[in-house]
Structure 1
């Protein structure tokens, strides 16, 4: 019989006794050690396993014995079928090829290892770990926290406390940031996969030669049964005359500067621009934000933009809305920026320090060979995917920033797991972002889940809004820090929470409670009736829920 006609059998198992994914991985490893077992996949959530085996080397009852002889696991049902399999690995070099090396790629590799899949990961561009650990979440948030420490050393919300200031060793700040990046890259990425039996990692540029073949550095060719595109994104650079010539920074290069800049002009007032502005202003840098729309955080309702802008400006951050940069020129004293206001007025100013571009992201799709194999892009240039992360070519998946989905590190990992489960474990879980929580790490922080009142209005949903100032929350009064508000949007007829927005110091710590309330359909009246600990910011959720039906200013402490 020819190699492509070798007949194997499959054993479909129902397995009891598993309590976690580690149990499934343990059973897989036991099965894969047996002579004649060609493939084993065990899934903890469903309690099922699939074993592909050579009946000439191992019998079905021996497979069952491997599991039944363990202390905890048992096979409750086994069905045997015939599989006509091509050559090893179904005719491919790998079951799964992952292009990328960030959060989505590693989440996919971890799930693939649990399923016993021979996997190849190919990374290019940023070091292993991708945007989050190298140039995104980790460096930005540690700089934000460093800047916060400096701010509180110079400022107090209590009249009786007189801070003495802070000496900032800026080069040390950057070196400490880099040390944290390197530590987490090693601990949370490389160490995690170092003992994987089925994973190979390569460095190089990968492109699709056909829908199952990947070429690396135009030298090596690998075939894969399924392919996951997880190439991430990079800063989008606007096409403004002179921008490239004068030299600009992005979050990738700004965080590497060991010499503190005198000043920064930040182009863009989205979450990246606002976070950078907050951190670097508190580290002693003069900050100007220019934004071509009418306000910062244009994706949010105006009250959020106005609240945050007020506090940023109080710390000395200049905000220029409705200013579109038209031309940049390098002068002896710095960078000359010429822009225009909506009424046609032009204005020119000099930036003695650096220009930072924070105008959004674009997907890393160039050079991947997507057009040649028929992988389609969405209107924003990211890869179009369905609810199972499949592209227009069903055995090619995409996850993370490169896909047309929310660009967060935690959604990237979530999407990759969904993709691998769908591709290899029969998973039918679809992405669901209806109760996705998010946080912007300014100070005060901005956090949200679900829809806001503008979105509810657009959808024609009857809604009501409760907006509670932090001046009504005892914890904020005790802390002498009443910046911000909590806003709840509920369905006027069902009392279900449609969404929430929080502007508050550490406001991000509140949003998961509201996300869970939405997920498990807890009525707003039930939130108002719950016992929240007194003198916590979380109590503000209860008060905001009460405010739909009561005047909280007329309630005593802890009253409901």
Structure 2
């Protein structure tokens, strides 16, 4: 008995970065593609993640510079007034709508794949899966495809803290829709999102307290945590480390929030007008009926995939946050393209995260690529590290902001660079340069003797490499 003819070559659930990368690649291969989206086209990045958060961070940075410039630059006098939050949010929405239209919606017509608004659920059998789609107008239909891609992303997750569900707590999504700047804010969490949101609101005029279970950016170098602790202290952000929040309740007198946490062996209460929970995200897989078609999931609901992004059903693939892998939009996009190559060209390509750049858009920015000192040691590499304070980087001196460092982790036996971490202005660009350095397998000596334009932050990587053999305090700033 012959198998039913598929209606499409690829059916995609979701419309974010991974979904679009897959749809673009598949249509370029001449495949028939269907995309199903139950909400707003574009996914997390353009609608509620990267684009809006970085737009607001840029606005907060502008206000902070205006308030701070008089102290940093002699002869400059600046000021900044109160923030009109409603106007700021309107501007953010306008930017999001423009980018959603230009970079997502309009591309669908340009490439020519089909999109349907509605809910999609996997049905059928593991041997013959189908999609059951319920459209916005209530019409139901079944669609059969040669391959399926689940790219439904992730959503903010709140831990089971007593009383939290009874409060109007903020997430990274809802915080960016506030019409007024809160007088005070508790931020629960110490990861990338918590860091960005805490500094964003502090720079808009909110008194911010962070309750952190371990340390800031705990997966990165301790040097980064210490530097950001100092930066945040200077900006009036209180960071309470090793704080385990046990309960949250609404203050009946003020309408604000009271959080109780275990701190230094005792109990302490923290009060603020609002609380923001930034303790991570969870894959969006509930209701997809994955088990019925033989797709295995993990404890957090993530779709378990192999290194080629195939699930336990060889016709069903997953890409982006829904896999539980690193939550960066460029990871999702890489997943989408790779999945198509493997499904239709039998490319057998595998995901390789060894040189994945990581960026937290604080100011100064935290960015890293490759291994930390700890990770290198755990991998059995005998490492030799150097930490270059920004006071030795000419670009930082002319910026009049030497808060930060550049750290190189290298193999002591070969000199090969295994990782680079930086806290600096535009450190994300340093991480991008680091990707190429690590991918090429370059050594400290090679980087120390390469061309590097003067008065760029990237020159700091060269100077950090020179510090392995040279006293950089004795380098001429124009003849390094």
- Normalising to structure 2: TM-score of the pair? 0.94
**Larger relative CO (CA 8 A, sep 6+): 1 or 2?**
2
In the other structure, the counterpart of 1:365 is 285
In the other structure, the counterpart of 2:430 is 510
Q: How many residue pairs were aligned?
A: 470
In the other structure, the counterpart of 1:163 is 78
Larger deviation, residues 375-384 vs 316-325: 375-384
Deviation at 1:97, TM superposition (A): 0.8
Are 1:214 and 2:214 counterparts? no
Aligned residues of 2:154 and 2:281 also touching (Cα < 8 A) = yes
In 1: Cα distance, 2:300 partner to 2:57 partner: 30
In the other structure, the counterpart of 1:381 is 301
Are 1:105 and 2:105 counterparts? no
Aligned to 2:107, what secondary structure does the other structure show? helix
Greater Rg by CA: 1
CA deviation string 1:218-249 (max 9, x = no partner): 93211111000100000111111211111111
Return structure 1 stretches of 4+ with deviation > 4 angstroms.
none
- Normalising to structure 1: TM-score of the pair? 0.81
In 1: Cα distance, 2:38 partner to 2:229 partner: 38
Larger deviation, residues 171-180 vs 424-433: 424-433
In the other structure, the counterpart of 1:119 is 33
In 1: Cα distance, 2:382 partner to 2:167 partner: 51
**Pairs within 5 Å for 1:206-285:** 206-210=120-124, 211=126, 212-217=129-134, 219-285=140-206
Aligned residues of 1:101 and 1:124 also touching (Cα < 8 A) = no
Over the residues paired in the alignment, what is the CA RMSD in angstroms? 1.7
In 2: Cα distance, 1:312 partner to 1:529 partner: 36
Are 1:323 and 2:243 counterparts? yes
In 1: Cα distance, 2:444 partner to 2:264 partner: 45
Aligned to 2:256, what secondary structure does the other structure show? strand
Deviation at 1:426, TM superposition (A): 2.5
Aligned to 1:308, what secondary structure does the other structure show? helix
Aligned to 1:341, what secondary structure does the other structure show? strand
In the alignment, which of 55, 58, 64 is matched to residue 151 of structure 1?
64
- Measured at CA, do residues 495 and 380 of structure 1 come closer, stay the same or move farther in structure 2, by a change above 3 Å? farther
Deviation at 1:380, TM superposition (A): 4.4
In 1: Cα distance, 2:402 partner to 2:254 partner: 41
In 1: Cα distance, 2:60 partner to 2:338 partner: 37
In 2: Cα distance, 1:434 partner to 1:297 partner: 19
In the other structure, the counterpart of 1:491 is 411
In 2: Cα distance, 1:392 partner to 1:320 partner: 43
Aligned residues of 2:153 and 2:320 also touching (Cα < 8 A) = yes
Deviation at 1:162, TM superposition (A): 2.6
Deviation at 1:432, TM superposition (A): 1.4
In 1: Cα distance, 2:212 partner to 2:220 partner: 15
In the alignment, which of 308, 312, 316 is matched to residue 232 of structure 2?
312
In the other structure, the counterpart of 1:18 is none
Are 1:454 and 2:378 counterparts? no
**Pairs within 5 Å for 1:37-186:** 91-125=5-39, 127-156=40-69, 157-186=72-101
Aligned residues of 1:452 and 1:500 also touching (Cα < 8 A) = yes
In 2: Cα distance, 1:178 partner to 1:267 partner: 26
